[in-house]
A and B are shown apart, each in its own frame.
Chain A
Amino acid sequence: MTVRSRRSDIAAAALTLLLAWLVIYPILVVAADAAHPSALRAFLTRSGEWAALWASVWISLVSVILAAAIGIPLAFLFEWFDFPGRKTLGALIALPVVLPPLVGVIAFLFLYGESGFIARAIQSLLHLQNAPWRLQGSVAILLVHAYSMYVYFYLFTRAGLAKLDVSMLEAAQALGADRRATLWRVIVPLLRPSLVGAAILTFMTALGSFSAPYIFGGGFRVMTTQIVATKLNGDLPLAMVETVALALVAVAGLIILRRTEGDDILVALGKGIAPRPRPIRRASVRRLATIAGWGLTVLLLLPHLTLILVSLVPYGAWTTEILPPVMNLANYRRLFSEAERLRPMWNSLWMAAASTAVAVVLALAAGWLVVRRRVALRRAIEALLALPWALPGTVFAIALAITFSVHAPLQLRFVLVGTAVILPLAFLVRALPLTGRGVLAAYRQLDPSLEEAAASLGAGRWRTLMRVTLPQLRPGLAAGASLAFVAALGDIVASIVLYTYETRPVSIEILSSLRLSETGVAAAFGVVLMLVSAVVLGVGARR
């Protein structure tokens, strides 16, 4: 064995241990502690627990169905048909992704809530005594989920359609298959990996969703809100059992959905040339598609617009009118002039930046060891990087809260809860799958002969990394890092379990502003998060 490969084996071992300590160890601690007989009995016998678990499951499944029903047709419409505004609308339609979960939820609250914009308008138009509806319970949660998660189906299906080889469709036609037969016998099977991917992502996101059930749930509990409530009540043993139960459901869901993916048939034969979008020829259909497209876009952008509108209304100025009587920048002025309001902004920014930076470095190290050096531990490293993605954020939040509230250096446990380190650490765990996936995929596509060429031209390792490897990895790296940064910036799930007053992030500040009925300030925070997210995602998506 050469010195070089021994050195990479040592590095791989160190990386594996570090990742295991971050990703698996806290889960194991919780699982071990959860085997507490009285807590187990409490969980098994209380009907509320089972109801919450079942609610989590069916809400997630229905979310998948709704998101698919909206996202897939839209993807076909925008990928295959040409009509005025197709390009602009096709980009705008993905805009729900720039709303962090909590911000999206409060935008829905301001828009469709019982004292929201729409309800208020209807109430005054029809001279009703009370609000026409209450936005609460499972319907409200599903509405928010469908709105924010159809984007996964839309983007995955579009990407799948774009990769489709037009000669496949022509071959089916030449063999006598009509449009329906081509769709069902060729297109859908070829899209299956994309569709299953979107379904898994939607299911996992819905299962881990916290903001919507927290704000709209009322008496309707899902497992994530149940866990946090139990933790806040101080019943730690029960919270641990609940955490383990949610983790098991997540893993089971993942395994079942993976089954439907079928054999790996992604091996493309020959080069794929995607079909050109077909212009819609009939003028009436064309007009209809255009109107529907624009109408839909306005509908999708209403939450963003409402958020901006509410953020411009000073405290207490808007009571019963349909449109706000006063609009100015007072809320933003308060945001940027009051030190206590500026702090959460800085907290969120630095914690997101730090966790993303570390996640990028770890992903690069993993990419180099797994793809280039092909170390023996490569499967372990890949699995550890991907694992946090398979479990809801609440599970990790509770696991970290429990593992790092004890001082036991020999067990590698330290008191980190209450310090400024714990939240960035939680964000880092959540960031690993995103940066890891981006970097590994990019590394696999990177032709090793490029690095060899650089070496043969006399470039040292550092120069090769900076001038050849990193520029080649940049698109994957930027995509993963921007997603990780935005997720950390808007995080609520980990924050609500782990924050301290000093380190409180924006989402916690939004919640407390809402509690004080300072909707304008909450909305202004939301707008800032939305804009920063949009810019970061925009930069990350550049090729």
Chain B
Amino acid sequence: MSGFLQIQAIAKRWGHGVTVGPISLDIARGEILALLGPSGSGKTTMLRLLAGFETADGGRIAVANEDVTAVSPAQRRFGMVFQHYALFPHLDVGQNVGFGLRGKGKGDEGRVGQKVSEALTLVDLAGFERRKVHELSGGQQQRVALARALAPEPRVLLLDEPLSNLDPALRERTRHELREVIQRVGITTVFVTHEQEEAFDLGDRIAVLNQGRLEQTGAPDELYEHPVNLFVATFVGRANVFRGNAARALGANGQGVLVVRPERLRFAGAGLPGIVRERRYIGAAAFFVVEGDDHERFEVLAESDAAKVGERVYVEATRVIAL
């Protein structure tokens, strides 16, 4: 199956020997793809290559089988929501949203006005046309930026850390609203984030990037349960890494590294021995930090009264990821 948005061996070489790619990805029509990675992993470069703000040093980008690698950002018809929104401060909300609509049908003021109001209604800001952008709250600015990007009916929507500028309380709600709008429009979307929770919640599929390389692509549960390497295992979700004796005590055979999620460990009568050093209560359960005999530390998620600090315990794994 060939995707709607095809990225083929795209690469960008910066000075100082820093290279992003070559990366290949196929994104289906209407799919939401998250580019997840720590800072410096190349995820923003990828997004800017897609938008056309950076020129690739190799590879090819195609939308609906049309090669757009050399197409300028202005001709590419990709909508973009910037990290700090980049709303034009000299224009009001309506003029911002209408910015990409003008010049297509000149003199068609009424049509533009209607499209603007439709776009604003979509993001639940109906009637905000004459507001000044700096009078809006952060969440409202974010929605105006989204409406502005969607108004010209782009082929692909690009979002650069769409929620990083919002305070945590607002983030979760905005995330759901964002997902709802994207799904209602049905637009193919690529967004960049460094937060696993955001990627899980918003993305149909996640591409994990590290040091300019694509580590793994897959649905959230696939990445969580079947990470292909240690980086993905530890970057996506909480993970305990066991080697040597400890790994063997949990059932590993040979010299392999064992990754176990905290909720896949439990206290038992036998297994890996250790002493509980810390207990972090999180409400429904508690994280227990256990120090093993080789001074390795790991976390166990269990009932909040499962153990006491200072207690000697044995731990067994219900499910392990062998790498």
Whether the Cβ atoms of B75 and A269 lie closer than 8 Å is: no
Question: In the bound complex, how far is the Cα of B104 from the Cα of A187, in angstroms?
Answer: 21
Whether the Cβ atoms of A176 and B86 lie closer than 8 Å is: no
- Chain A residues with CB under 8 A of B82: 167, 170-171, 270
- Chain B residues with CB under 8 A of A268: 89
Question: In the bound complex, how far is the Cα of B152 from the Cα of A192, in angstroms?
Answer: 27
Whether the Cβ atoms of A176 and B103 lie closer than 8 Å is: yes
Q: How big is the A interface, by class?
A: 20 to 34
What is the distance, in angstroms, from A226's C-beta to the closest C-beta of chain B?
41
As a 0/1 sequence over residues 69 to 106 of chain B, the CB contacts with chain A under 8 angstroms (1 = contact) are 00011111111101111111111000000011001100
Question: In the bound complex, how far is the Cα of B77 from the Cα of A270, in angstroms?
Answer: 25
Whether the Cβ atoms of B100 and A176 lie closer than 8 Å is: yes
What is the distance, in angstroms, from A188's C-beta to the closest C-beta of chain B?
9
Nearest A-chain residue to B99, judged by Cβ: A175
Nearest A-chain residue to B104, judged by Cβ: A176
- Tally of contact residues, B, Cβ under 8 A: 34
Known contacts being A269-B134, A269-B141, A270-B165, is A174 close to B80, with CB within 8 Å? yes
Whether the Cβ atoms of B84 and A269 lie closer than 8 Å is: yes
- Chain A residues with CB under 8 A of B165: 270
Whether the Cβ atoms of A165 and B103 lie closer than 8 Å is: no
As a 0/1 sequence over residues 209 to 243 of chain B, the CB contacts with chain A under 8 angstroms (1 = contact) are 00000000000000000000000000000000000
- Chain B residues with CB under 8 A of A177: 74, 99-100, 103
Nearest B-chain residue to A268, judged by Cβ: B89
As a 0/1 sequence over residues 139 to 162 of chain A, the CB contacts with chain B under 8 angstroms (1 = contact) are 000000000000000000000000
Nearest A-chain residue to B158, judged by Cβ: A174
Whether the Cβ atoms of A172 and B89 lie closer than 8 Å is: no
- Chain B residues with CB under 8 A of A178: 74
Whether the Cβ atoms of B149 and A269 lie closer than 8 Å is: no
- Chain A residues with CB under 8 A of B99: 172, 175, 177, 185
Selected contact of A270 from candidates B51, B72, B79, B83, CB within 8 Å:
B83
Whether the Cβ atoms of A269 and B85 lie closer than 8 Å is: yes
Selected contact of A174 from candidates B78, B91, B104, CB within 8 Å:
B78
Known contacts being A174-B73, A190-B90, is A270 close to B85, with CB within 8 Å? yes
Selected contact of B73 from candidates A170, A192, A265, CB within 8 Å:
A170
- Chain A residues with CB under 8 A of B75: 176
Selected contact of A170 from candidates B53, B79, B87, B90, CB within 8 Å:
B53
Question: In the bound complex, how far is the Cα of B72 from the Cα of A175, in angstroms?
Answer: 11
Assess whether A255 is interfacial by the CB under 8 Å rule.
no
Assess whether A271 is interfacial by the CB under 8 Å rule.
yes
Assess whether A181 is interfacial by the CB under 8 Å rule.
yes
Known contacts being A171-B80, A269-B141, is A176 close to B90, with CB within 8 Å? no
- Chain A residues with CB under 8 A of B78: 174
- Chain A residues with CB under 8 A of B205: none
Nearest B-chain residue to A181, judged by Cβ: B103
- Chain A residues with CB under 8 A of B104: 176
As a 0/1 sequence over residues 158 to 188 of chain B, the CB contacts with chain A under 8 angstroms (1 = contact) are 1000000100000000000000000000000
Question: In the bound complex, how far is the Cα of B100 from the Cα of A192, in angstroms?
Answer: 22
Known contacts being A176-B100, A176-B103, is A270 close to B86, with CB within 8 Å? yes
Question: In the bound complex, how far is the Cα of B100 from the Cα of A173, in angstroms?
Answer: 9
Whether the Cβ atoms of A175 and B89 lie closer than 8 Å is: no
Whether the Cβ atoms of B90 and A265 lie closer than 8 Å is: yes
Q: For chain B residues 111-153, which have a beta carbon within 8 Å of chain A?
A: 133-134, 141, 148-149, 152
Question: In the bound complex, how far is the Cα of B141 from the Cα of A165, in angstroms?
Answer: 17
Whether the Cβ atoms of B89 and A267 lie closer than 8 Å is: yes
Assess whether A189 is interfacial by the CB under 8 Å rule.
yes
Nearest A-chain residue to B89, judged by Cβ: A265
Q: For chain A residues 366-389, which have a beta carbon within 8 Å of chain B?
A: none
What is the distance, in angstroms, from B302's C-beta to the closest C-beta of chain A?
43
Question: In the bound complex, how far is the Cα of B80 from the Cα of A181, in angstroms?
Answer: 18
Assess whether A40 is interfacial by the CB under 8 Å rule.
no
- Chain B residues with CB under 8 A of A176: 74-75, 77, 100, 103-104, 152
Question: In the bound complex, how far is the Cα of B83 from the Cα of A271, in angstroms?
Answer: 10
Nearest B-chain residue to A168, judged by Cβ: B86
- Chain B residues with CB under 8 A of A192: 90
Question: In the bound complex, how far is the Cα of B133 from the Cα of A190, in angstroms?
Answer: 14
Assess whether A95 is interfacial by the CB under 8 Å rule.
no
Assess whether A186 is interfacial by the CB under 8 Å rule.
yes
Whether the Cβ atoms of A171 and B86 lie closer than 8 Å is: yes
Question: In the bound complex, how far is the Cα of B74 from the Cα of A271, in angstroms?
Answer: 23
Most buried by B among A174, A269, A270: A174
What is the distance, in angstroms, from A332's C-beta to the closest C-beta of chain B?
50
- Chain A residues with CB under 8 A of B84: 165, 167, 269-271
Nearest B-chain residue to A169, judged by Cβ: B86
Whether the Cβ atoms of A171 and B103 lie closer than 8 Å is: no
- Chain A residues with CB under 8 A of B72: 173
Whether the Cβ atoms of A175 and B90 lie closer than 8 Å is: no
Whether the Cβ atoms of A170 and B80 lie closer than 8 Å is: yes
Question: In the bound complex, how far is the Cα of B103 from the Cα of A175, in angstroms?
Answer: 11
Nearest B-chain residue to A175, judged by Cβ: B100
What is the distance, in angstroms, from A28's C-beta to the closest C-beta of chain B?
40
Question: In the bound complex, how far is the Cα of B92 from the Cα of A189, in angstroms?
Answer: 13
Whether the Cβ atoms of A170 and B89 lie closer than 8 Å is: no
Question: In the bound complex, how far is the Cα of B77 from the Cα of A177, in angstroms?
Answer: 11
Whether the Cβ atoms of A269 and B73 lie closer than 8 Å is: no
What is the distance, in angstroms, from A460's C-beta to the closest C-beta of chain B?
38
Whether the Cβ atoms of B89 and A190 lie closer than 8 Å is: yes
Whether the Cβ atoms of B88 and A171 lie closer than 8 Å is: yes
Known contacts being A269-B85, A271-B84, is A174 close to B149, with CB within 8 Å? yes
Binding site for A on B (CB under 8 A): 51-53, 72-80, 82-91, 99-100, 103-104, 133-134, 141, 148-149, 152, 158, 165
Give 13 A-B contacts (CB < 8 Å), ordered by A residue.
A170-B73, A170-B80, A173-B72, A174-B51, A174-B73, A174-B74, A174-B76, A174-B158, A175-B152, A177-B103, A178-B74, A192-B90, A269-B84
| Those 5 A-B pairs whose CB atoms lie nearest each other, nearest first | A270-B84, A175-B100, A167-B86, A173-B73, A171-B86
Binding site for B on A (CB under 8 A): 165, 167-168, 170-178, 181, 185-186, 189-190, 192, 265-271
Known: A175-B79, A176-B152. 18 other contacts (CB 8 A): A167-B82, A170-B86, A171-B86, A171-B88, A171-B148, A173-B53, A173-B73, A174-B78, A174-B100, A175-B99, A175-B152, A177-B99, A177-B100, A189-B88, A265-B89, A269-B89, A270-B86, A271-B84
